[in-house]
Structure 1
Amino acid sequence: MASKVFKASMSTKTAPIAIIGAGPCGLTLARLLERQKVDYVIYERDESATSANAGGSLDIHEATGQAALRKAGLWDAFRKEARWEDDRFTVYDKFGKQHLDIKSNGGVDEAGRPEIDRKALRQILLDSVPQEKIRWGSTLKAVKMHKAGSPALEFTSGATAEGFKLVVGTDGAWSKVRSMITQAKPEYSGRTYVEAQITEENPLFKSVLDKFGHGTASLLAGASQMIVQRQGNGWYRVYFGIQAPEHYVGRELDSASVDALRKSLLSDFYSDWAEEPKDYIRRADHFRSWPLYHLPVESQKWATVPGLALAGDAAHLALPNGEGVNCAMWDAMELAKSIETYGLDKLDDAVREYEKDLLVRGKAHIEDGIQLGNLMSHETGPAALVKAFQENDF
């Protein structure tokens, strides 16, 4: 039976631009194109807006993420969800002694780097684009190029879509679009985050609230770290950062494997920590693993491929450094601006101009992630990171 061929819009006319991925990057681009009256379609692997694990809290920076939201006409919607009170970063050692406590806004309301839950940010962006332009449940299998040079999309369902002037890959770490532009692949960093939650029902909640309050706290002790981050609903995500083989922690964790993981963390990674943070391992819930990957620094050089573009993690996957979503939204803003400047008849020129700065900031973004990761896991514990902040290196 012949596979289904998607039309790229609800009308009989094919949209000129396909966006792969409905995360903050892809949705920011869609919103900006919507304001420029440029037609597009989004293909997203999630079955619906509510089916994904939306992740933790994000700090949105003035010159990048905030600038993109203002350009998109979404600043007021963002303000309603943003948490300026969580613009706070603290550093502790493994015994619970505090070494740093900073706020980027200097105590000024609606300044600095407010936090917002990833889920809330995504919803703001989703609400700003016509829902009929999103193809939910569309997992991209491959991108193929026709002899004429136009890209065609193949999905795991067997469906295909074609007729686009430009396909933009905002499809994250394991981007299918990227493979048509560069052979670079993400590398495992040697570090894994094990995520857990401390909700209001948890007996630990009151002590965690009293100790850390608002914002994000990093507890550092060389190869092992903990990050405690307040969420929009008031409870906390905890990330246990360890240096371990890539598949040390399984992706699917049942109760038996969680019990084994707790024992391993306590004996192999946090045995000499104070009892209070060790209790987070013993009593937090909802464990899941996040192996940390990044693209090679040298990956940020490629020739423009007609009909294709990358943005966000698809272009410059980096280790956590507070810039990921901001850099992604900045990419979206810059690509939309270049499309507006050059027009739909010169999209390859628009992408070529956009990539000049994309590759520069992508390289810097990856380097920053590696540098911060090294500081977070420095043998001196918190001293190296504290010094870097005091010297304004971050």
Structure 2
Amino acid sequence: MDAPAIAIIGGGPCGLTLARLLECKGIDYLVFERDASEYSNRSGGSLDIHGETGQQALDEAGLLDEFKRHARYDDTSFTLSDKLGKRLIHTGQGRDAPEIDRVELRQLLLDAIPKEKIRWGHTLTGATIGHGNNPSLEFSNGVVLSGFKLVVGADGAWSKVRSVFTDATPKYSGKTNLESSIDKESPIYDITASKAGPGTHVAIGSGKLIVTQRQGNGSYRNYFGIPISEDFFRNSAMDISGTETIRDLLLSNFYADWSDEYQNLIRHATRFRAWPLYTLSVKDMGWKSVPGFTLAGDAAHLAIPNGEGVNLAMTDSLKLAFKIAEHGTDNLAQAVQEYEADMFPRAVGTISEGKAMLDIMYAEDPQSFLQLLSG
């Protein structure tokens, strides 16, 4: 069987949005995903999908009504506090950016794509220009494939496809989020729910932050943002799964001067996971087009979280699908050049905004963030 025109590397929201849009436009493709099956890696937090970007992509994909059945419109509110628990602003109610769990969004997209169009258990290890100047893909399971007219790297922060264009790699920001949970069975669940409520609650102080966000099942996910070295957990004897050890570290080294409200979150949090924050540089944007390849989402423009990540990724997919449909699979070079010329300014913008947000979110106090919200 001949290879389809398009190979999509990565089965996250970015790659699956592109796949669904190509499906709607009658353009043949295959998705290659490292997870073993659609039931693997059912994790990730809550995502706010914006009306003018992410929802637009879902509308074009014919999935907006289905999305609205899953979306949580009462979780758009945002509360900002200081480290002593003083509430400074409560806003965002009614904003057209409803929340949906990442796993739900992924499943919604998967259900809209023929199962035979996804190859599970395919971890890309190398992408090169092979025989006849056609893309060649090597996977960790030993499979080597070629014959595609275009390979789209939607393979995230540590994209293997990116190396075709540049040797740029993400740089550590100096900050790490320790993700954790407060489940409904937690003894402080009711207190957490009454204080955090629906939506997202952010507390900033002493160069650290705490984000508490309600999930689709009613539980709360916490992110304890702390300044540590990139190799802090790799080079120490600390076991990240050792809950009491992590709690003691946070309470003694980082949040000793925070209110009991936040310290209790630490004392009762479970399932800790380290999430170091990385970003590409604006200097990494604007690469020279390479025939047969392009990038989308975090693979193209990884940034510090600034509320735009998944929305920008889905916008990339929407724009690229339009260009492919406009020019056809016999003129993909033109489609890619026009897509990339449109994408680079968005990429520079989100990377710049992410770096600015880092300074605001990890400030000594929340005043700069308060001014941003008030403005």
Q: TM-score, normalised by structure 2?
A: 0.97
Structure 1: 5+ residue runs without aligned partners? 1-11, 106-110
**1:373-388 map, 5 Å:** 373-379=358-364, 381-388=365-372
- 2:269 equivalent to 1:298: no
More off after superposition, 145-154 vs 235-244: 145-154
Which one-letter code corresponds to 1:24 in the other structure?
Answer: P
Q: Aligned partners of 1:241 and 1:119: how far apart in 2?
A: 23
Q: 2:253 aligns with which of 249, 268, 289?
A: 268
Shift of 1:355: 0.4
- Supply the distance in 2 between the matched residues of 1:54 and 1:175 (Cα, whole angstroms): 20
2:97 aligns to what SS in structure 1?
coil
2:155 aligns with one of 171, 188, 200: 171
2:374 alignment counterpart: 390
- Taking a change above 3 Å as real, the CA distance of residues 259 and 353 of structure 1, as seen in their structure-2 partners, is same
Q: Which sections of structure 2, spanning at least 5 residues, go unmatched?
A: none
1:47 and 2:31 correspond: no
Report the secondary structure of 1:249's partner residue.
helix
Report if the CA contact (8 A) 1:104-1:113 is conserved. Answer: no
CA contact (8 A) 1:141 1:155 kept: yes
3-state DSSP of counterpart to 2:233? coil
Whole-Å separation in 2 of the counterparts to 1:346 and 1:253:
53
- How many residues get paired? 374
Residue 344 of structure 1: aligned partner: 329
C-alpha distance in 2, partners of 1:188/1:297? 15
Q: Quick one: which of 205, 213, 224 aligns to 1:229?
A: 213
1:95 aligns with 84
Where does residue 35 of structure 1 map in the other structure?
24
Distance 2:106 2:79 in 1: 27
Following TM superposition, by how much is the alpha carbon of 1:263 offset from its aligned partner in structure 2, in angstroms? 1.2
Alignment-derived partner of residue 6 in structure 1: none
The 2-side partners of 1:345 and 1:174 are apart by 30
2:132 is paired with a residue whose SS is coil
CA deviation map 1:136-169 (0-9, x unaligned): 0000010121142110100111111110000000
1:211 aligned to which of 186, 192, 195: 195
- What SS does structure 2 have at the residue aligned with 1:345? coil
**Aligned-residue CA RMSD (Å):** 1.4
Q: Distance in 1 between matches of 2:324 and 2:240?
A: 50
Given that 1:222 and 1:376 are in contact with CA atoms closer than 8 Å, whether structure 2 keeps it comes out as: no
Tell me the SS of whatever aligns to 2:52.
Answer: helix
Are positions 1:279 and 2:243 aligned together? no
Offset of residue 259 of structure 1: 2.0
Alignment check: 8 A CA contact 1:94 1:219 kept: yes
How far residue 104 of structure 1 moved from its aligned partner, in angstroms, is 5.5
Q: Cα distance, 1:255 vs. partner?
A: 7.7
Percent identical residues: 48
Higher deviation after alignment, 256-265 or 313-322 = 256-265
